[in-house]
Every structure is written in C-alpha cells, then in structure tokens.
Amino acid sequence: MDKSISVMLIYILTHLGLIFFMYPEDIIASTNTAHWVAILIGIIVHFAVISIYMKGLSFFPRWDIIRIYLNAGKGVAIIFLLPITLYLMMVNILTVRAYSEIITIIFLSNTPLWSIMILLLLVSTYIASKGIETILRTGVLLGILFLPVVLIISFTSFQTIDWNYVFPLLDLDFSFLKKPSYFQSFFAFTGGFLFLGFVQPYLMYQRKKIVLAAVALIPFFIFSVYLPILKFGEATAVTLHFPFVVLVDTINISWLMFDRFTLFYLLTLFTFIMLFLSLTLWETNRIVSQCMPKIKPIYVMLLLSSVIFVFCLMIPGWNRAEQLRLWNSPLRFFVLLIVPLSICYLGLRFKRKVSHEHN
C-alpha cells in the first residue's frame, strides 16, 4: 500500500522539531549579513542529498539500507553501518540532553533534568518498540493536532517586525563556511532523511512526494532565522539563546485565554521531537538487532534507551552538549554526504550487474 502521505508528513514533522530551536541560533551566529545565502546553501545541499539518496534506493525495491550494505559484503557493511549507528546514537543522546535542557531553561526550571529525559525516552522508546506503522500513525495524529499550531505561530510571528532589518540583502561574504556554528546548523538537515532507507521493506512511497515535503520546509528554514532578526535586529538576535523561542514569547494574541503562547509552541515541538527520537531509536534498533539476531529486538531497544540515558546524565551542562554537537560534525557529514553517494553508487553497480546477468 502506498504510504506517501504518511511518510511525507513524518518527514515534515521531524524536521520542524529540529528547525525552530537550534538552527536559527547557528545561522545567526555564523554570519551577520545576508543570512539567506547561508540558508540557501543548506537547502541546496538538502535537496541534492535526498535526490541522490532516493535515486540510489530506487535501484533496490523493498530493500533497506542494511540489506543493501550487507549485499555489498561484510566489510562494506561494517564501514558504513558502524558510523551510521554511532551517529544515530549520538543524535539520540544529544537530542534528549539538549531538548531536556531547553525545556528546563524556558519554563520548568524547578523540574529535575533527569525526569524530563526519562519522559522523553520512555514515550519515544514505547512508540519505537511498536514499529514503523505505529510511528507513522502517531505522526499523522500529531500532524492533524499540532501542525495548525505551527502554522498559526508562523503567521502571527509577523507582528511588529521591522522590514528594514532585512538589509543588506547582497553581501556575498562566504566566511561563514569556516564557522563551526554553520557546520552545526546541518544538524537540522541530517537527522531526518535517513529513515527513507529503512522503511522500504515495510511500505511504499513516491519520491516526488518527499521532494514536495522538502519544498514545504523551505519557508520554515527562512522564517526561523529571519523572523527573530526582523523583530530584534541582527545585533540583538545574535546574543539570544533560542531566538525564535524568544520571539514567540513576545507574541500577543488578545483572544487567547493563556498568557504565554510559548507554552503551545514548545509543547507542539516537544511532540515532534519525541516522534523524531522514536524514528531514530527504531532505526538504531534495526541495525543493532541485525548484528545480534539472537536477542529479541525489544531487549535491544531497552538496552539502547538505557545507554542513551546514562550518557545523557554524564553530560555536565549545555556548553558540553554544544561541544559534543560540534565534535559530532565528522559523523554528521559522513551521513549527509557519503551515505547517499554510496547508496547511489551501489545502486548503479547493482543495476549493471542485473543487466549483465539478463544479457
């Protein structure tokens, strides 16, 4: 059965959870003018990556990337699946730790950090343990309930902005390409596309629908960066932690009965992050279970969650989490660039092999 709409929705929601928190701060910190250039380069890389990745996957109908790499040999599988597993584990650890810290910083300052981390992991682990079909159904439900909230926030954020802050538009200074903060901004692009190569044995989807989903995300990448700049000015926005969250906190809607509109925004993105964690946990579990077939997947899942929680407790503070996010850049770009190219190469080689056998 074609599940293109569900996959498309999952793709959008998981990326939205990654965009609005740390991405604006990374981009604003990387350059002080013409931020659209930095955003555009990231978007171009994003489209190139998913196009190459899906092209490679198209050569292997009903195969996931685990089977693709194993088919190329155990050595190839180790070379690629080990870094992917390490990256997914790092993503889970950093996401749980960073977003738990964000919640405590913004409105749960008296709540122990470990309790928020446990909440994130318990819900995500439960959803992931039920399989990809449950993750998809959860994504559809969350999209129906909370996607309108994100759209409302995006439109109402245009209150009291100053369009003069958008200038200068043409300042082609590419020095941001040397900034660590710009490399960290690719966190918003890397985490969400890998699942396309894990779901193929379970369901079908149309590639053009995924491209449409990526197109739908473009305004959110732009809004998340430019709305804080247009509200506060670049000089002020660069000093803010989570500039879009601060912007949302200034929104005044007279007909809303609650004082802090930020609460709705954070709870919405919190659900998207749990969906993202469920997806990455499920992907990690699929790889590790393949390596340890004698252990039931549910036990592997519980072990992975426990390891993630322990490592999250070992991170002493926000600065160390940011440092780890930077240290994770080599694995991030391996997944972003090398994995799609390798899948495409293996796909072309597999196609030539099949054609040669038929001839």
pLDDT digits (tens, 9 = 90+) for 184-223: 888 888 878 888 889 888 888 888 888 999 999 999 999 8
pTM for this prediction: 0.90
Per-residue pLDDT, averaged over 302-315, amounts to 90
For residue 281, what pLDDT is reported? 93
The domain limits of the chain are 4-358
Instruction: Give the model's confidence band at 258: pLDDT under 50 very low, under 70 low, under 90 confident, else very high.
Output: low
Q: Which helix (H) or strand (E) holds 132?
A: helix 132-156
* Section 139-149 average pLDDT: 86
Q: What percent of the chain has pLDDT over 70?
A: 95
Average pLDDT of the chain to the nearest whole number: 85
Q: For the residues 298-306, what does the mean pLDDT come to?
A: 91
Q: What is the pLDDT of residue 184?
A: 87
Write down the pLDDT at residue 114: 86
358 or 24: which leads in pLDDT: 24
pLDDT at 49: 92
**DSSP designation for 7:** H
* Distance from the Cα of residue 208 to its chain's centroid: 20
Judged against a pLDDT cut of 90, whether residue 44 lies above it is answered with yes
What integer pLDDT is reported at residue 83 of this predicted model? 92
Residue 55 three-state SS: helix
Whole-number percent of the chain with pLDDT over 90: 21
Nearest to 291 by CA among 279, 304, 280, 278: 304
From the number of C-beta atoms within 10 Å of its C-beta (0-12, 13-18, 19+), residue 216 rates as: middle
End-to-end CA, the chain? 32
pLDDT at 267: 80
What is the CATH T-level fold of the domain 4-358, as seen in this structure? Answer: Amino acid/polyamine transporter I (1.20.1740)
- What are φ and ψ of residue 318, in 5° steps? -65, -40
- Cβ–Cβ under 8 Å, residues 224 and 19: yes
Banded pLDDT at 257 (limits 50, 70, 90) = low
Taking residue 229's Cβ as centre, other Cβ atoms within 10 Å add up to 24
Tell me the pLDDT band of 358, cut-offs 50, 70 and 90: low
Q: Using CB atoms within 10 A of its CB, is residue 93 exposed (0-12), middle (13-18) or buried (19+)?
A: buried
Q: Which two tokens stand for residue 252?
A: 């005044």
Residue 213 has φ and ψ, to the nearest 5°, of -65, -40
Contact between 143 and 213 (Cβ < 8 Å): no
Beta bridge partners of residue 2, listed in sequence order: 204
Q: What is the pLDDT of residue 212?
A: 92
pLDDT of residue 50: 92
Question: How far is residue 275's CA from residue 85's CA, in Å, rounded to a whole number?
Answer: 19
Whole-number pLDDT of residue 307: 92
Lowest mean per-residue pLDDT among 160-169, 255-264, 291-300: 255-264
Token pair in block for residue 197: 């190569």
Q: Where would I find the beta strands (DSSP E) of the chain?
A: none
pLDDT for 1: 64
Mean pLDDT to the nearest integer, 228-239: 85
Question: Backbone phi, then psi, for 112, in 5-degree steps?
Answer: -60, 140
Instruction: Name, of 135-144, 158-167, 345-354, the range with top average pLDDT.
Output: 135-144
